[in-house]
Amino acid sequence: MTANHDRPHSDPLLEMEGVSVNFPVKRAYPFSKRRWIQAVTDVSLRISEGETFGIVGESGCGKSTLANAMIGMVRPTAGTVRFQGDELYALKPKAFKQARRNMQMIFQDPFSSLNPRFTVYDIIREPLYIRGGASEAEMKAKVLELLKLVGLDEEDMYRNPSDFSGGQRQRIGIARAIVLNPKFLVCDEPVSGLDVSVHAQIMNLLMEIQESRNLTYVFISHNLAVVKNVCQNVLVMYLGKVMESGTSDALFANPLHPYTKALLSAVLDVDVEASHDRILLKGDTPSPIDPPKGCRFWQRCPFAMVGCETIPAEMVDVENLHQVACHLVSGFSPEHVAAGLDQPVSSLPQTWAD
Amino acid sequence: MSDTVLEVRNLKVAFPAPGGVIRAVEGIDLTTQKGECVALVGESGCGKSVTALSIMKLLRTPPSVSRIDRLELDDRDLTHLTERDMERVRGKDMAMIFQDAMTALNPVMTVGKQIDEVYRRHTKLSRKEAREETVKALELVGVPEARSRADSFPHELSGGMRQRVLIALAFACMPKLIIADEPTTSLDVTIQAQVLDVLKSMQKDHGVSALLITHDLSVVANMADTVYVMYSGKIVERGAVLELFTDPRHPYTEGLLGSVPKLSDDKQAFVQIPDTVPHPMHKPDGCYFHPRCSYATDRCRQHMPRLETLDKGRQVRCWHPLR
């Protein structure tokens, strides 16, 4: 791995503190109690400039909602998001727009994220056009430069997305995302809709672009092998909460949370000779409406203890920058056991910040 | 005869299209043994799903035009069976597990009823007996509280449960051959591990032969006994899973294996196969893989190599097989 795994820089590019996002559920009856989907609960993180930050978890665990909250698409119910030191959701509309220009997103499905009626030129030009201040010739030159960068030809400029394969469409999506020279790029499962042989092409392209433009990536994936190879820091989420976080070296060398272990063992390898002692999880992810009260993972945890179902597990430091929320690691404190059920979820300790 | 369950000889499928013919499958030979899991691996558009559908005889003419020299299931010739006779074979002697359980199941019918239907159609069980069998089938694939779950509709079940229902449906009459078309592609990693476990134990415990169609080499490594690698409508390599994975002979197989990220390696760059699969209407001259192949020579650009048999059932279609 290239980037240094030392302590992150003193001023992070993006910082989240105790971010929660809840979505209201439609009432079944007019006066019934309003219920909430707790998509993201109490997440704190720090992303420093130039790094690749991985978010891992199964579908429905809140990874995409968290990413949307990062780039100003979903206002968090609680907590703060700071981008380049400014609190993102407190900015005035004009400044907010300015900040948003520095953040872009690459979507999972290259078939539904490109307007089928636009030509490739229209698609890549659109952000420039909306920003304004560029002449037609300038925009054209810029689009051409980007097409070359992502490995497409000049002739492709006036074709429609339907003329391209999945991999090529994803290249168009990448070109569109970097046309405004953003600092921060969220890649939401950028390769999971593509063929295996194209995976590597797109991943290599993303890495090249990051190096040449000094971008900061948030890389969302459920493929741990990819995350391990590209990310410097990793966050493992389950049902809206952070289970474990740390540098990818520490986390993959020494996974502590049972969920991380299960995820790792569920990754099927192409190594036919290796033995497979898999931790098979029972059941499915529970609903994020009324999630389990204690540790969110306890119902599926093969090592669950009595207190796990009632007492929420808090993030504790295990080693430098490696944190885990599990009673197996932290143990139960006597006060916890005494206080029992209605112990409030206290916010995460601010250990990222030294 | 021997333990051969499925035998396919020289299957060809084409789709006439405006401006040319799409040759989806170009002469494929496949055999599966009793209790064996055979994987057909390839990228999207290489013709693997079309192969599966034509084995089930589910492709309609038009739009497809297909030709097959021999199609045998358990020593029974299916080549010239009528649609009516085929209906008796499907579900009973061979069954299919589809990729997307949400679209494969009927959304307005309880899952129990859909499995009952298989028994009602292929056996002489009464309604009540059929339901008993259904509950048993659901229990076999690990659906908890099978009796009450049988009365739920597909949308009430989670993705993993739906896929289990599809497996129960396919194994209902204990067919001789199961064709699984990308059975776990739409599932999460932890659920994928569960479902593959169920599929594998069902297949091995009941000695059913399986044809697994997938693009995911890691699934193949964990499930299959024999692997066929398909590229642009042709088989390019065949071999036992261990040999093929440890010692790939075709450059395409080597590239595919290299492009899978592994937990065990530390490199930052990914090994990539350049370019993409050729358009099925405009396939290149010579070996179809030569534009993407780093070992290509003039011979590769002009002539399509034959599928040569090496030792121990190993076959490779390459002028310069890797050593």
Contact with chain A for residue B218, Cβ under 8 A: yes
Q: Using pLDDT thresholds of 50, 70 and 90, give the confidence band for residue A6.
A: very low
Say yes or no for a CB contact (<8 Å) between A197 and B256.
Answer: yes
Comparing CA positions, the residue from A314, A310, A339 lying closest to residue A327 is A314
CB atoms near residue A328 (< 10 Å): 16
* Distance between CA atoms of residues B57 and A294, nearest Å: 53
Segment A282-320, tens digit of pLDDT: 777 788 888 888 888 888 888 887 778 788 888 888 887
> Residue B13: is it exposed, middle or buried by C-beta count within 10 angstroms (0-12/13-18/19+)?
buried
Whether the predicted model's global pTM rises above the 0.95 cut: no
pLDDT value for A118: 93
Stretch 98-157 of chain B: residues touching chain A, C-beta under 8 Å: none
Interface test with A, best of B43, B49, B161, B189 (most A CBs within 10 A): B189
Nearest to B245 among A195, A272, A281 (CB): A272
Chain pair A-B, CB pairs under 8 angstroms: 132
Q: Measure B127 CA to nearest chain A CA, in Å.
A: 30
User: Are A202 and A223 in the same domain?
Assistant: yes
Q: Quick one: average pLDDT of A241-268?
A: 88
* Distance between CA atoms of residues B219 and B183, nearest Å: 10
Residues 6+ apart with CB under 8 A from A14: A45, A46, A47, A70, A81, A82, A83, A84, A184, A216
* Distance between CA atoms of residues A56 and A220, nearest Å: 6
Closest chain B residue to A199, measured at CA: B259
A59 interaction partners in chain B (CB closer than 8 Å): 188
Query: Residue A55 belongs to a domain with what CATH number?
Result: 3.40.50.300
Angle, helices A136-149 vs A166-178, to 10°: value is 130
Segment A186-211, tens digit of pLDDT: 999 888 878 777 888 899 899 999 99
Q: Quick one: average pLDDT of A258-277?
A: 74
Say yes or no for a CB contact (<8 Å) between B263 and A268.
Answer: no
Residue ending a domain, choose from A149, A170, A191: A170
**Pairing assessment for the beta strands B226-231 and B37-41 based on DSSP bridges:** parallel
The pair of three-digit structure tokens given for residue A58, joined into one six-digit string:
């199964």
Q: Using pLDDT thresholds of 50, 70 and 90, give the confidence band for residue A333.
A: low
CA terminus-to-terminus distance, chain B: 36
CB atoms near residue B201 (< 10 Å): 13
Strands, sheet with B226-231, edge to edge from the N-terminal-most edge strand:
B94-97, B177-181, B209-214, B37-41, B226-231, B234-240, B315-316, B308-309
Segment B239-268, tens digit of pLDDT: 999 889 888 999 999 888 888 877 776 666
DSSP per position, A233-257: EEEEEETTEEEEEEEHHHHHHS--S
Comparing CA positions, the residue from B275, B263, B261 lying closest to residue B43 is B275
User: Are A98 and A122 in the same domain?
Assistant: no
A20 in a structural domain: yes
pLDDT value for A350: 30
- The amino acid present at B152, given as its one-letter code, is S
SS3 A264: helix
Closest chain A residue to B189, measured at CA: A266
B159 interaction partners in chain A (CB closer than 8 Å): 284
Instruction: Give the whole-number percent of chain A exceeding pLDDT 70.
Output: 88
A349 in a structural domain: no
SS3 B290: helix
Q: What distances in angstroms separate CA A167 from CA A161, B172, B275, B305, one per listed residue?
A: 11, 39, 9, 28
User: Are A130 and A251 in the same domain?
Assistant: no
User: Are A287 and A240 in the same domain?
Assistant: yes
Give the total number of structural domains in chain A.
2
A350 in a structural domain: no
Q: Quick one: average pLDDT of A84-110?
A: 90
Say yes or no for a CB contact (<8 Å) between A266 and B272.
Answer: no
- Tokens 């358009």, residue located: B279
Say yes or no for a CB contact (<8 Å) between B257 and A270.
Answer: yes
A273 interaction partners in chain B (CB closer than 8 Å): 242, 246
Say yes or no for a CB contact (<8 Å) between B189 and A222.
Answer: yes
The pair of three-digit structure tokens given for residue B55, joined into one six-digit string:
């084995």
Say yes or no for a CB contact (<8 Å) between A199 and B261.
Answer: yes
Closest chain A residue to B162, measured at CA: A284
* Distance between CA atoms of residues B86 and B82, nearest Å: 6
The pair of three-digit structure tokens given for residue B290, joined into one six-digit string:
């030569």
User: Are A240 and A312 in the same domain?
Assistant: yes
A1 interaction partners in chain B (CB closer than 8 Å): 266, 268
The pair of three-digit structure tokens given for residue A311, joined into one six-digit string:
């007492």
pLDDT value for A183: 92
pLDDT value for B211: 93
Say yes or no for a CB contact (<8 Å) between B272 and A197.
Answer: yes
Q: What is the mean pLDDT of chain A?
A: 83
Stretch 23-82 of chain B: residues touching chain A, C-beta under 8 Å: 43-44
Closest chain B residue to A283, measured at CA: B191
Contact with chain A for residue B268, Cβ under 8 A: yes
A181, A213 contact by CB (below 8 A) = yes
CB atoms near residue A126 (< 10 Å): 15
A259 in a structural domain: yes
Contact with chain A for residue B242, Cβ under 8 A: yes
B255 interaction partners in chain A (CB closer than 8 Å): 197
Q: Quick one: which H or E segment has residue B6?
A: strand B4-17
The pair of three-digit structure tokens given for residue B5, joined into one six-digit string:
């369950």
Q: Quick one: average pLDDT of B9-33?
A: 89
Q: Using pLDDT thresholds of 50, 70 and 90, give the confidence band for residue A349.
A: very low
Instruction: Give the whole-number percent of chain B exceeding pLDDT 90.
Output: 31
User: Are A50 and A156 in the same domain?
Assistant: no
A261 interaction partners in chain B (CB closer than 8 Å): none
Closest chain B residue to A269, measured at CA: B218
The pair of three-digit structure tokens given for residue A130, joined into one six-digit string:
């909306």
Strands, sheet with A103-106, edge to edge from the N-terminal-most edge strand:
A103-106, A184-188, A216-221, A52-56, A233-238, A241-247, A322-324, A316-319
Segment B46-100, tens digit of pLDDT: 888 899 999 988 888 778 888 888 898 888 888 888 888 888 889 889 999 988 8
- Tokens 């694939």, residue located: B141
Contact with chain A for residue B86, Cβ under 8 A: no
pLDDT beyond 80 at A2: no
Nearest to A204 among B189, B246, B272 (CB): B272
Q: What distances in angstroms separate CA A125 from CA A33, A113, B175, one per listed residue?
A: 47, 15, 55
The pair of three-digit structure tokens given for residue A266, joined into one six-digit string:
């569920």
pLDDT value for B268: 61
Comparing CA positions, the residue from A156, A58, A73 lying closest to residue A107 is A73
Q: Quick one: average pLDDT of A135-157?
A: 91
Domain region containing A137: 115-170
Q: Quick one: which H or E segment has residue B14?
A: strand B4-17
Q: Quick one: average pLDDT of B231-242?
A: 91
A163 interaction partners in chain B (CB closer than 8 Å): none
pLDDT value for A7: 43
The pair of three-digit structure tokens given for residue B98, joined into one six-digit string:
């589809």
B130, B200 contact by CB (below 8 A) = no
User: Are A156 and A224 in the same domain?
Assistant: no
Q: ipTM value of the model? A: 0.77
Compute chain B's Rg from CA coordinates.
21
* Distance between CA atoms of residues B25 and B13, nearest Å: 5
pLDDT value for A341: 37
A167 interaction partners in chain B (CB closer than 8 Å): 276
B249, B315 contact by CB (below 8 A) = no
A175 in a structural domain: no
User: Are A77 and A188 in the same domain?
Assistant: yes
pLDDT value for A275: 57
Task: For CA atoms A202, A207, A212, A216, give the dihedral sign.
Answer: positive
pLDDT beyond 70 at A348: no
Say yes or no for a CB contact (<8 Å) between B222 and A229.
Answer: no
A281 interaction partners in chain B (CB closer than 8 Å): 190, 193-194
Nearest to A272 among B196, B221, B276 (CB): B221
User: Are A267 and A320 in the same domain?
Assistant: yes
Left, alpha or beta for A281 (phi > 0: left; psi -120 to 50: alpha)?
Answer: beta
pLDDT beyond 80 at B196: yes
User: Are A209 and A95 in the same domain?
Assistant: yes
A347, A42 contact by CB (below 8 A) = yes
Task: For CA atoms A225, A226, A229, A233, give the dihedral sign.
Answer: negative
Residue B63: asked if its preceding bond is cis (omega within 30°), the reply is yes
Say yes or no for a CB contact (<8 Å) between A268 and B273.
Answer: no
Contact with chain B for residue A224, Cβ under 8 A: yes
A325, A314 contact by CB (below 8 A) = yes
B269 interaction partners in chain A (CB closer than 8 Å): 204, 207
A68 in a structural domain: yes
Say yes or no for a CB contact (<8 Å) between B270 and A166.
Answer: no
User: Are A236 and A285 in the same domain?
Assistant: yes
A314 in a structural domain: yes
B190 interaction partners in chain A (CB closer than 8 Å): 58, 262-263, 266, 280-281
Angle, helices B189-205 vs B159-171, to 10°: value is 10
pLDDT beyond 90 at A218: yes
Contact with chain A for residue B255, Cβ under 8 A: yes
> Residue A111: is it exposed, middle or buried by C-beta count within 10 angstroms (0-12/13-18/19+)?
middle
Q: Using pLDDT thresholds of 50, 70 and 90, give the confidence band for residue A12.
A: confident
Nearest to B255 among A197, A226, A276 (CB): A197
* Distance between CA atoms of residues A99 and A91, nearest Å: 9
- The amino acid present at B262, given as its one-letter code, is K
pLDDT beyond 90 at B40: yes
Segment B280-322, tens digit of pLDDT: 888 888 899 998 888 888 999 998 998 888 877 889 999 988 8
User: Are A189 and A322 in the same domain?
Assistant: yes
* Distance between CA atoms of residues B251 and B34, nearest Å: 30
pLDDT beyond 50 at A343: no
Q: Measure A202 CA to nearest chain B CA, in Å.
A: 9
A108 in a structural domain: no
Segment A20-75, tens digit of pLDDT: 999 988 888 888 888 888 899 999 999 999 999 999 988 888 888 999 999 989 99
Nearest to B221 among A197, A263, A270 (CB): A270
Q: Measure B80 CA to nearest chain A CA, in Å.
A: 36
